Copies of this chain bind each other. A is one copy, B any other.
Amino acid sequence: MNGATAVLESLGRAGVRVCFANPGTSELHLVAALDRTPHLRAVLCLFEGVAAGAADGYARMTGIPAVTLLHQGPGLAYGLANLHNAMRAASPVVNLIGDGASTHRGLGAPLESDVAALAGPVSRWVRTARNPEGAGADAVAAVAAATGPPGAVATLVVPADVAWSPGGRAARALPEEPAAPAPVGTVNAGRDSTILLGGPTLRARGLTAADRIARATGASLLAEAFPGRIERGVDVPPIERLSGNPVDARQRLAGCRHLVLAGAATPVMAFAEPGTAGELTPPGCTVERLDGDTTAALEELANRVAPHLRARPYKPPATPNEPVNRPLTAEGVAQVVAALLPQWAIVVDEANTSIVALPDGTARHDLLTNSGFAIGLGMPLAAGAALACPDRPVVCLEADGSAMYTPSALWTHAREGLDVTTIVLNNRAYAILRRERTRLLGQPGGSALFDLSGPDLDFVALATAMGVPGSRASTTGELTAQLKQALAEPGPHLIEATVPARY
């Protein structure tokens, strides 16, 4: 068994089931081993950013790391932005890099590059396999490092000579270490307290426990502004998300004297402003952090402070009606999606300034957002989520600007026959830059560099280029009809929703 086979077999034994690959010449032995590994599905992506974002989406929906198979330094580089997003969402990802042969290093071959240096900033763990004998154990260690909790990117670099040399041994998965118990004793969840939920606490279990705590203690609940995954809809207690607008967020936190971080990071401004503090918490607010298994910590706290309060079955208002027909806006898109969203849908939201808060009454669904702010995540994330949950429809709300970083994700939607309906909210602008320029410089409008018209991007043609059926909607009626059809048919669809820019 060569080193490549040892790596892939060990990954399979450790429970890895999907590899999102954009292979190159230095990882041909890894590809050959992948093709021979049972139960490990290889999914071709035409760009590394698609592979990385898809692995993130898969991890968010399963908790299991997928593998990204990328090519030396430049291939890894194209994957880094979405690996950054995976890192921020604490998604477990095994980032497997096929590097040039270690014996070839230092010769100055065209693709020679410092893979470990590039991977460092997005990885919790980076290791270069030194020999085929240890490569299997390296792979198993990568899975353990990625899995956490919390999840993270673990980068394993396999030089070509380690991959092709004999002496490899498949390694067994490491026994799972239970997460350390969280120190819940000191949490003070009273009326001047806010619990900020993030990470895994935003599933039904954590939200139910937090709801019990809040009802018993008067503590206030908030969800982090850009959660990796949040469960919503029927039978899940609703929770307010902290605003992404720093003025609103600061106002919301103004009365908070004690902030409990349950799986969330300290809330800060995403972007600095002259003369403004970066933290969003008010002066004097104490901050306490739950570590380890934060969902279990919330349940323990709930059992202590609210032993007799049971989960409150949440019955949202009736599903909203389809809106009356009128020219499409971002709000109109949200209304149509809310009215038509199927039960157990997965919603990916990278609509940026067109960001749509689905109204109450929406079907039970998971919402995935861009925790890391590196745009170009949406359509790849949707691919990974759809592969993870083949029985659940995925609705991907995408923006025109961000769609253009990873457009070939659509090809993977088509190739794998994924049940993803992508709605591109096309406002023909980098509207977020217009908004921020107004806020920061006091100059509305701004640069020609924010204008995406001239020529207008044609997303229906883009979908056609990738083998995805496409259509265009400019009224709520058109969107309703097209979304109904897309949701009724299996496989991918794209709808270009023409909306006015808000900024």
Cβ-defined partner of A24 (8 Å) among B266, B408, B433, B452: B433
Is A58 interfacial (CB 8 A cutoff)? no
CB interface residues, A 403-435, toward B, < 8 Å: 404-405, 407-408, 411, 414-415, 430, 432-433
For A14-46 the 0/1 string (1 means CB < 8 A from B) is: 000000010111101101101100000010101
Does the CB pair B466–A457 fall under 8 Å?
A: yes
User: How many of chain A's residues have a CB under 8 angstroms from any CB in B?
Assistant: 96
CA distance A49 to B88 in the complex (A): 23
Min CB gap A429→B, angstroms: 11
Cβ of A488 < 8 Å from any Cβ of B?
no
Beta-carbon contact of A268 and B465 below 8 Å:
no
Q: How far is the CB of A341 from the nearest CB of chain B, in Å?
A: 27
State whether A374 and B447 are in contact (beta carbons under 8 Å apart), knowing that A25-B436, A28-B441, A84-B113 are contacts in the complex: no
How far is A466 from B456 in the complex, measured between Cα atoms in Å?
7
Interface status of A251 (Cβ within 8 A of chain B):
no
Q: Does A481 contact B (CB under 8 A)?
A: no
CB of B456 within 8 A of CB of A28, answer: no
Chain B residues contacting A465 (CB-CB under 8 Å) are: 457-459, 461-462, 464-465
Q: Is A321's beta carbon under 8 Å from chain B? A: no
In the complex, the count of this chain's copies comes to 2
Interface string of A65-76 (1 = CB under 8 A from B): 000000001110
A101 vs chain B, min Cβ distance (A): 3
Known: A29-B441, A269-B109, A457-B411. A74 touches B81 (CB 8 A): yes
One digit per residue, 1 when the CB lies within 8 angstroms of any chain B CB and 0 when it does not, for chain A 201-228 equals 0000000000000000000000000100
Interface 0/1 of A224-252, CB less than 8 Å to B: 00100000000000000000000000000
> Which residues 442-464 in A have Cβ within 8 Å of B in the complex?
443, 446-452, 454-459, 461-462, 464
CB interface residues, A 324-380, toward B, < 8 Å: 371-374, 376
**Distance between Cα atoms of A21 and B449 in the complex (Å):** 8
In the complex, which residue of chain B has the Cβ closest to the Cβ of A79? Answer: B77
Complex Cα–Cα for A271 and B98 (A): 12
A498 to chain B, nearest CB (A): 15
Q: Smallest CB-CB separation from A454: which chain B residue?
A: B415
Among A268, A401, A414, the one with the most B-chain Cβ atoms within 10 Å of its Cβ is A268
- Structural contact, B443 and A32, CB atoms closer than 8 A: yes
Specify which of B84, B111, B457 is in contact with A74 (CB 8 Å cutoff): B84
Of A129-137, A168-176, A272-280, the one touching chain B: A272-280
Give residues 95-115 of A contacting B (CB, 8 Å).
100-101, 103-104, 107-111, 113-114
Interface residues of A, Cβ cutoff 8 Å to B: 21, 23-26, 28-29, 31-32, 34-35, 42, 44, 46-47, 49, 73-75, 77-78, 80-81, 84-85, 88, 100-101, 103-104, 107-111, 113-114, 117-118, 120-121, 160-161, 164-165, 226, 265-266, 268-272, 274, 278-279, 371-374, 376, 401, 404-405, 407-408, 411, 414-415, 430, 432-433, 436-437, 440-441, 443, 446-452, 454-459, 461-462, 464-467
Identify 15 residue pairs between A and B in the complex whose beta-carbon atoms are under 8 Å apart, listed by A's number.
A21-B449, A24-B433, A28-B433, A32-B443, A34-B447, A35-B448, A73-B80, A77-B84, A100-B271, A114-B120, A114-B121, A404-B408, A457-B466, A459-B465, A461-B461
